[in-house]
Amino acid sequence: MPKVRSSNIGYPRIGEKREWKKSLENYWAKNISETELLDSLKDIRLSNIKKQKEAGIDLIPVGDFSLYDHVLDTAVSFGLVPDRFEYNGGEVDVDTYFAIARGTDSAVASEMTKWYNTNYHYIVPEITSAPTSLVHNRVLDLYKEAKTELDIDTKPVVLGPVSFVKLSKNQTDLSEQELIRSFIPLYAQLLQELEAADAAWVQIDEPFLNGQVTSSELDLLQEVYAQLDVAAPRLNILLQTYFEAVDDYEAIVNLPVQGIGLDFVHDAGESLKQVIKFGLPTGKILAAGIIDGRNIWRADLKEVKEIVDQLSVVVGEGQLILQPSCSLLHVPVTVKLEEELPEILKSGISFADEKLEELVALTNVANDTSDEQILEASAAAVKALNDSSSRNNEEVRALLAEVGESVPTRSIDAPERLRLQQEKYQLPLLPTTTIGSFPQTKEVRQQRLKWRKGELESAEYEQFIRDEIDKWIKIQEDLDIDVLVHGEFERTDMVEFFGEKLAGFQFTKFGWVQSYGSRCVKPPVIYGDVAFVEPMTVKETAYAQRQTKRPVKGMLTGPVTIFNWSFPRTDIPEGQVVNQIALALRKEVEELEKEGINLIQVDEPTIREGLPLKESKSQAYLTQSVDAFRLSTITVQPETQIHTHMCYSDFQAIIESIDALDADVISIETSRSHGELISAFEDFTYNKGIGLGVYDIHSPRVPAQEEIDRNISRALSVLDPKLFWINPDCGLKTRKEKETVEALQVMVDAAKQARKQLVTSPE
């Protein structure tokens, strides 16, 4: 056995050119059969495993691949299907699986929320009773498949029982600890079957360990893994953590498992300190996450090797594994397809395949089977990018210096602004609006592609966009929506669009990552100092406003969201990058206001998702986020109404910071969580406008008015009707035109009915 081995925690599912996405959507559109779907996905899955083997990875994950989401995979393995999907037991079929994730005409999809502080969404399991059986040992099938088809002995990957329950909705009468204990026999069976199939290692992910962990949770963890160790004594368990350092290092490394996986990238140096201070139990494996699994920058392997050298001193020979800091699910597949990137940038980035090359290079150097020349090359590439003019813009640095430490505020407080704005706009009670985007049809996408390829003149393309705006302004007026939007037909993605127009951003051609289900995004790369170049949204928004007497919202993406949904540079502090973006957006806000656009939405759907896992770090992050939002909106007149939008947020945790944003109107998702988020406002007096998304746009169904009525009534039980707005829970870009119009009509009818009831109800 080599003294150091390489491992991977997880690999992207989507394929180099999103082949996975295309197969799923073809199946949903009934263009291919279930057999054709499963065959195509098998090809991608096996190709991924083979590629990792050829790269030289020693421990290759299996079970990280998914038809939709790995948390949903775990739920259906135990037969955890909500009653509304009429599941009758046994292995969950493909259509039921997709129904849980996407909903049906008669059943609402399960809630979807962020995977810790990443840009990935998972389906939240609903557990109504203790599980009774392992209905499908999925990872066993995949392990056997790799062995049979490729003759590769892989490392099965499983989401651990403690994290799984904590990520779920416990709708049973059991306490959390009791519910976790009920899963132990089923996990034991799963592991025993893997052991019987001669699996050597299994990776059990317990990412909850990187947050705040109580002593009782540690005791329960000890109990769970002691029983699993006894159940499958010949199977090596690698307990995997990621996204932060663990606080209880000594307790965790002494758990009855054979290996511990720690993050050495997003840990602020704590993991290395802990290993050096406390050492590692004799014979236990340390899987060190030393290559960043969440960002795309090439590592300075000379610096990383210093960490490896220090670990090698503490960890015994044969006890060290090198791996990414987390699953490579969060980065694109390969740089090799990016033929149009500037060479200095291409040399400085690393996607999944390149990260595997970095791991193997470090492993080979550590095993004395390769010289260190490759380390020198990586250090030189990183230095060249850091020294480039794009990362040293003196004008941008001067603007940041002017901001200093001051916290910007608007000149008039929110209630007085609301009075002035109501005088100006004369909006009805419970005004209706949408979040911003309307359906991007095949024709819209084709026209944009033709224009980008030079096959369509700019004048023709602009006329096409104007025609789409005209069409949807009329649709909104016919629906009787109160505050309109232009529809964003010129935009590919809410972050990419702005990145294309700001200095300091670069775009890839195939740099896709999974967001949720088949939805893939291509995050911009923030590689240099960010600066405003010219107006970005004014032309289309001003045109839309000229077509109607109703107010039209300007639509911008906020600085924190642009940062969180990009691959940001890491050579300067995060706060500096966010404030650079905020200053650039402030110029755009000012340009919109000059053109008479006085309702401006600055979306910040990701503030909650970026919240650090450690509570001790949360306030600094929230303060920085609030300051950046204010920095982007501070200069508007009191009559200009600032809107913002947030998705899937645990508002109880950050309600004070949301209030501190000082936006005039905030719209938030609440449909999939069935109104639970409204409880955040029961104990907090919120004196600004608020729109709680009244129907779920992620599910391809038209809501019944009764569903929207319930959401409105629930909201009005705790919110002032004078402050309440009615809107969908998110943008409508991914929906079909017919369902969009029908759903919005139901929403408007529900709003009008609620207004009538408020007017006719006694005080």
Catalytically active residues, by annotation:
698
Residue 448 annotated as binding site: no
CA dihedral 432, 436, 439, 440 (to 10 degrees): 170
Cβ(490)–Cβ(468) under 8 Å?
no
Taking the C-alpha atoms of residue 168 and residue 133, their distance in angstroms, rounded to an integer, is 18
Residue 435 annotated as binding site: yes
Residue 730 annotated as binding site: yes
Q: Concatenate the DSSP letters of all residues of 101-118 into one string.
A: HH--SSSPPPPEEESTTS
Residue 549 annotated as binding site: no
Residue 20 annotated as binding site: yes
End-to-end CA distance of the chain: 79
Residue 645 annotated as binding site: yes
* Element (DSSP H or E) covering residue 205: strand 201-205
The amino acid occupying position 622 is L
Residue 206 annotated as binding site: no
Residue 437 annotated as binding site: yes
Q: Where are the beta strands (DSSP E) in 399-512?
A: 503-506
Tokens 């195509």 belong to 40
Residue 19 annotated as binding site: yes
The amino acid occupying position 344 is I
Q: Concatenate the DSSP letters of all residues of 693-747 into one string.
A: --S-SSSSSPPPHHHHHHHHHHHHTTS-GGGEEB--SS--TTS-HHHHHHHHHHH
Residue 201 annotated as binding site: no
Cβ(164)–Cβ(190) under 8 Å?
no
Taking the C-alpha atoms of residue 241 and residue 260, their distance in angstroms, rounded to an integer, is 8
Residue 18 annotated as binding site: yes
Number of neighbours of residue 730 by Cβ within 10 angstroms: 27
The amino acid occupying position 178 is E
Structure tokens at 587: 């110029």
- Count CA within 13 A, CB hemisphere, residue 646: 25
Residue 493's closest CA among 537, 437, 542, 533? 437
For 399-419, give one letter per residue: b (16+ CB within 10 A) or e.
beeeeeeeebebeeebeebbe
Q: What is the DSSP letter of 344?
A: H
Residue 326 annotated as binding site: no
The amino acid occupying position 574 is E
Residue 603 annotated as binding site: yes
Secondary structure (H, E, C), 610-632: CCCCCHHHHHHHHHHHHHHHHHH
Integer CA distances (angstroms), 277 to 121, 180, 272, 387, 631, in order:
36, 32, 8, 36, 43
Residue 607 annotated as binding site: no
Structure tokens at 626: 């609030």
Annotated binding site for 5-methyltetrahydropteroyltri-L-glutamate: 18-21, 114, 519-520, 565, 609
Annotated binding site: 18-21, 114, 435-437, 488, 519-520, 565, 603, 609, 645, 647, 669, 730
Annotated binding site for L-homocysteine: 435-437, 488, 603
Annotated binding site for Zn(2+): 645, 647, 669, 730
Annotated binding site for L-methionine: 435-437, 488, 603
